[in-house]
Structures are given as structure tokens and as C-alpha cells.
Structure 1
Amino acid sequence: MPLPLYLLALAVFAMGTSEFMLAGLLPDIASDLDVTVGAAGTLTSAFAVGMVVGAPLVAALARDWPRRSGLLGFVLAFAAAHAVGAVTTSFPVLFATRVVAALANAGFLAVALTAAAALVPPDRKGRALAVLLSGTTVATVAGVPGGSVLGTALGWRAAFWAVAALCLPAALGILKAVPAGRAQGEAAGGPALRTELAQLTRPPLILVMLLGALVNAATFGSFTFLAPVVTDTAGLGELWISVVLVLFGAGSFAGVTVAGRLSDRRPGSVVAVGGPLLLLGWPALAVLADEPAALFALVFAQGALSFALGSTLIARVLHEAAEAPSMAGSYATAALNAGAATGPLVAATTLGTTAGNLGPLWASGLLVAVALLVAFPFRAVVAAGRSAEVLR
């Protein structure tokens, strides 16, 4: 894999750390800025919504920029938003910085996904995507617990400064290593924006975007609410929350690594094997969560299966959107974050039921079941990416 891919993954690591670490910082933010924890929680929603809306919007605005300039601009804007957030004493200003950071993250990821696919031969797109997304999975392994520890030791502002600092080597690497050529949307004979947007009417593309969103919703629905499962259901101390999050992140890294080698040639096999296992895993985790050994093993397995299946489906989005070269990454980004935004909302509705803390795990199982039921009649689309005819 070319060096620029790993530099892009470093930036994705910084952005993933920012997106996920906020959950552990909310009480301190609320206390420091004199707002309720519920109000502070809207910072997470602002980021997720900004990612969903911002991905296609910012990608459309940036499609005529040179790719290196676009990536560099987005990563510096992301760093600047965190620097402002780290010094502000105003909650509305902090809220605004989260929106700006989300837009920068969305734009960066949209361009980076397209750039990653362009840096390798067509038959290695899935592996390139796995390298890029490994930045997110490493964030769950190291960045999120590290941000939480840093926030506990030095305050939430230190965590924001750390994210801003992480962006600087990534920016330097992009400047030095990413080709300065112009984006694909600018290439001679490249499709017009209207033509690229029209790809969203193609049933195969809609299908794989929907499936990616459903699987990601299941993933983040449970990931968001793992803490009470660890402390209340399993009866472990708060220190074990970080251990479980690291296990989930380690599983995710393993999942995208393995899937990256299979998703280009045998995506149907990844879905056919990983989908049912993922479906069985969420209820199994709900049933066995009070046994720490089973909890640890299943959290690792679910992290691996979730990201293996999710990254394969997102790779299918890039393949199905091949006729939208400058917008394909934004479609994949929107699908990912639509799931990340809706999954926790769906999971939260189960917390007040008799299932209690285990409700999100059952909800994740249901979301995966819906994804598999939708996918089954059109499995040729997922398996080969050549079935527009099947859906017509």
C-alpha cells in the first residue's frame, strides 16, 4: 500500500478520536460550561448530523479543488476547530466548533475515500479502504481511552488540544506525500455534478448504502451504551470500561484488516459468513453479559465482525458509485454516519424497557436482522457489484 494511504489514516485516527472520546468527557464539559449533561450530549448529535449532511455538501463544493489542497484544508480546519473549542468558555461556541469539525471531517473523509481508491488498482480498493478505516479502529483502541485518561488527568480541554496536535503531522504528511494532481471531478471529460448526483437514483447504490447504514447503526447502537453493561450487568469496576472499549477496538482493527483482503474478490463470502455470525453475536452478548469472560470474548468478536461487514459494504458503495468519482466518497461517508447517528437513538429507546442496559444489544441484533433480510433477495449486488439489472 502506498505511503499516502497511511498518512490519510493518521488524520482519520485523529478525527475518529475526536468523534468517540466525547462520551467520556461530557460530565466535565457540562460542569465547566455550566450546562446539563443532556445539553452537553447535543455536542455528539451535532457532530453526527454535521457528518451526514456535510459529506455530500462539502464534497460537491470541493470537487473542483486539487485533491491535496482539499485534504490539507480540511485537516487544518479540523485542527483549528479543536483549538478554538479548547479555549472557549461559551457552550454555543463549543457547539459551533463541533459543527465546523464535523463538516471538515466529512469533507476530508469524502475526499480521502475517493483518493484512497485512486491510489491503488481497481482490484485493491477494498484493501485500500481497510487501511484508511484502520485509523478509526485504532482510535477506538488507543485514541478514545487515551483521550479519556488525558481528560481525567488534565481536563477535557487537554484532550481537545491533543486532537489538534495530532492533525499537524498528518497535514505535513499530506503536503509532502499526496499527489498534487487535480480531483477526478476536474479531469478532462469527467462527469458533471448533476450526473454524479444522478447515481443516487440507482437501486444497487441505494441498496449498499442502506445496508452499510444498518450495520453501522447496529455497531454504534451497542458501542455507545457498553459502559453500563460493564459496570451494572457484569458488575465490574469503571476501570474495566476502558478495557472493554479497547477489546472492541482491537476486534474492529482485526476485522477491517481481514476484510480488506477479501472484500474486493469475495465480498459475498464476507457478508454470507459474517452477517449471520454478527446476528447471533448481539443476542449472545445480551444473554452472557453477566459473565466477564464471555463479555470480553464476545465484545472482541462483535467488533471484528461489525467492522469486517461494515467496511465490506462501504467498499461496495465505492464500487457501485464508480460513475461518480468525486462524490463516491461522500456517499460512503453519509452511509457510515447515518448509521452512527441513528443507531444510538434507536438503542436509547430500549433503555427504559424491561431489557434495561441490555436493550441496545437486542436492538443491534434486530438492526442486523433487518439488514440481512433486505440483502438476501439482492445478494448478487453485494457479491459482485454488477446487478443493476437484477434490481431493475
Structure 2
Amino acid sequence: MPVFLYVLGLAVFAQGTSEFMLSGLIPGIARELSVSVGAAASLTSAYAVGMVVGAPVMAVVGARLPRRAALGGFLGVFVVAHVVGAVTSDFAVLFGTRVVAAVVNAGFLAVALSTASSLVASELAGRATSVLLAGVTLSCAVGVPAGALLGEWFGWRAAFWGVAGLCLPALAWVLRTAGGERGQGAGGGGAFGGERGQGAGEGGVFGVRAELRSLGRGSLRRALFMGAAVNGATFAGFSYLAVIATEVAGLPGGVVPVLLAVFGVGAFFGVTGAGRLGDHWLRVGVLVLPVAWGVFAVTGEWGGVLFGGALVLGGLSFGVGSALVGRVLYVGSGEAPVLAGAFATIALNLGAVVGPLMAGGVSEASGDYRDAVWVSAGLAAVAALGSRPGNPKRRTAHTPLA
């Protein structure tokens, strides 16, 4: 794999840490800025909505720019947003920085996903995608606990400074590596596989409407639907892991960072395995996932099972999700080379918003936090119903589901 992929992965790691770290910083933010806990928690929703809205808009913007300018510009604004967030004492300003950071994060991820698949041969596209998504899983396993510790030791602002600092090496590499790339053709190789916007069509004109029409393809719609359902299942259960550990299993609060880290470790290995096994992982994982969530809903109140289940479900959930992102990029590569990455980003973030909302509604109505995990099982089952088993002998690691 090209070194530049790992540089992009570092940036994705920092951005994933920013997205998820708020769960451990909300009490400190509420206390220092004199707002309610509910208001502070809205920062998480602001980020998710910004990701959904920003993905298509920023992908179109990125398509009209050289990749260096798109990636460097998005990452630079992301850094500035975190610096402003770290120094402000106004909650409204902090809220605005979260929205801005999410929008440019979505743009960076959409362009980075398209860039990653263009840097390697088609048979390695799944592995290239997994390198980027490994940054997200590592942010769950390492970045979020580290952000919580920074917030505990030095205050919540330190976590914002930490994220900004993590982005600087990647930003410097993007600007330095791409310095000599200008003027290469669309297949010119180098760090960016061609400097001009990756969605430029004949005559350099980006056909937004033409790419949007690719959503009419059943195979692409199916992959996006499955990706949203799987990610909804993932975050429905993940959002309630801490509550289940403390309120249902009766474990002390000190185990929560360890439990979340275990889930993240499983996610990292799941993404790595998905990058190497491709369709083999997807065909099996999408069918096993609802069963695994169901078993966890029944047995997760037992402390030992809770940790083992978090490890297994982290691997299955992120592994299947990663494989589905690769599927979206493959299916959309011909007709939507830019917006395929944006489509994947939107689908995943819609799942991340809807899943926890469904889990919250169901568990509040029933009074049993374990029902949040049953929501995960149900969403994963819906994703499994969206798959169509085919003849394995005729399918490669990147052929469509349809």
C-alpha cells in the first residue's frame, strides 16, 4: 500500500476521534460553559448532521479542485475549527465549530475514499479503503479513551488541541507530497493519481446530475441501504454499551473506557480482515451479524460475556460496514467516481443518526436498556435481507451484489 494512504488514515483517525470523543467530554463542557447536559450533548448531533449535509456538497466542491487543494483545504479548515473550539467561551461558537468541522470532515472523507481507490489496482481497492476506515476504528479504540483521559486530566479543551495537533503532520504531508503533482493527467500516478478533480469528465466538466442518476442502479441502492442499516445497528448498540455495563451488568464506571476500547480493537481487526477477504467476509458477516446482536441482547448482562461480545461485535460490525463501503465505491466507480464516496459517507452517517434514536425510543418506552441491542439485531437483520447470495465461484472481491 502507498505510504500516502497511511497519511490519509492518520487524518481520518484524528477526525474520527473528534467525532466520537464528545461522549466523554460533555459533563466538562456543560459545567464550564454553563449549559445543560442536554445542550452539550447536542454537539454530537450537530456533528452527525453536518456530516450528512456536508458529504454531497463538499464532494462537488472537491471535484472542481485539484486533489491537493481539496484535501489540504478541508483538513486546514478542520484544524482551524478545533483551534477556535478550544479557545472559545461561547457555546454558540463551539456549536458552530462542530458543524463546520463535520462538513469539512465529510468532504475530506469523500475525496480521500475516491483518492484511495485510485492509488491502487482495482483488486486492491478493498484493502486501500480498509486502511482509511482503520483510522475510524482506531479512533474508537485509542483516540476516544485518550481524549477522555485528556479531558479528565487537563480539561475538555485539551482534547480539542490534541485533535488539531494530530492533523498537522497529515496536513504537512498533503501539501509537501503534492507539491510536484500539478499538471498530471487523470491517470498520471503520483500521490494523487492525477492532480485535477477526480470527478472531472470530458472537457473537465463535472456532471453532478449524471452521477446522481447512478442512484437509480439497484446494486448501488442496495449497497447504500445495507451500509446505512449496518451502521445504524452498530451505533444503536455501541451508544448503549456504557449504560448496559453499569446499569444492567452492574459493573463499576471505571470499566467503561476499557469496554469501549475492546469494541474498538475488535473493529480494527474486523476492518483489516474485511480489506483482505472482501466478499467472503461480507457474505458471511452480513448473515451472522443479526444473530450475534441477538445473542448479545440475551447474554450481555453478564460481565464476562459483555467484553467478549463487544470484541466480536466490533469486528463483525465494522468489518461488514467496511466491506459495504468498498462495494459502494466499486459499484459507483464507473458512473459516480466522486459522489460514490459521498454516497457512502451519507449512508453511514444516516445510520449513525437513526440507529441511536431508534434505540433510545425503544429502550425508553420499554424501560429496559437491553432493548437497544435488540434494535441493533433488527437493523442488522434488515441489512441481511437486502443481500442477495450469488454464485461464489463467479464473484470476485469487488463484484456487485446484484
TM-score by length of 2: 0.91
Alpha-carbon distance in structure 1 between the residues aligned to 2:352 and 2:128: 22
The residue correspondences of 1:1-392 to structure 2 (distance < 5 A) are 1-177=1-177, 178-179=191-192, 181-186=195-200, 188=202, 192-263=207-278, 267=279, 269-322=280-333, 323-354=335-366, 356-376=368-388
Amino acid at match of 1:6: Y
| SS of alignment partner, residue 275 of structure 1 | helix
Q: Is the 8 A contact 1:221 1:344 kept in 2?
A: yes
Paired positions, count: 384
Q: Is the 8 A contact 2:274 2:282 kept in 1?
A: no
Task: Give the direction of change, closer, same or farther, for the CA distance of 1:150–1:387 in structure 2 (3 Å limit).
Answer: closer
Amino acid at match of 1:316: R
Task: Tell me the equivalent position of 2:184.
Answer: none
| SS of alignment partner, residue 124 of structure 1 | helix
Amino acid at match of 1:284: V
The C-alpha deviation readout for 1:186-219, integer Å capped at 9, x for no partner, is: 3655662221122122221111001000000000
The C-alpha deviation readout for 1:331-383, integer Å capped at 9, x for no partner, is: 11111111111111111112223351212111100000111122248899x96
Q: Is the 8 A contact 1:248 1:303 kept in 2?
A: yes
TM-score by length of 1: 0.94
Give ranges in structure 2 of 5+ residues lacking alignment. 178-190
The C-alpha deviation readout for 1:113-135, integer Å capped at 9, x for no partner, is: 00000001111110000001010
Alpha-carbon distance in structure 2 between the residues aligned to 1:303 and 1:149: 22
Task: Give the direction of change, closer, same or farther, for the CA distance of 1:378–1:206 in structure 2 (3 Å limit).
Answer: farther
The C-alpha deviation readout for 1:274-311, integer Å capped at 9, x for no partner, is: 12321111121122222211111111000000011111
| SS of alignment partner, residue 173 of structure 2 | helix
Amino acid at match of 1:181: E
Post-superposition shift, 1:386? 5.6
Structure 1 residues 179-188 or 221-230, which shifts more? Answer: 179-188
The C-alpha deviation readout for 1:116-161, integer Å capped at 9, x for no partner, is: 0000111111000000101001101110000001101111111111
Q: Tell me the percent identity.
A: 49
Aligned-residue Cα RMSD (Å) equals: 1.9
Alpha-carbon distance in structure 2 between the residues aligned to 1:101 and 1:60: 17
Post-superposition shift, 1:67? 0.3
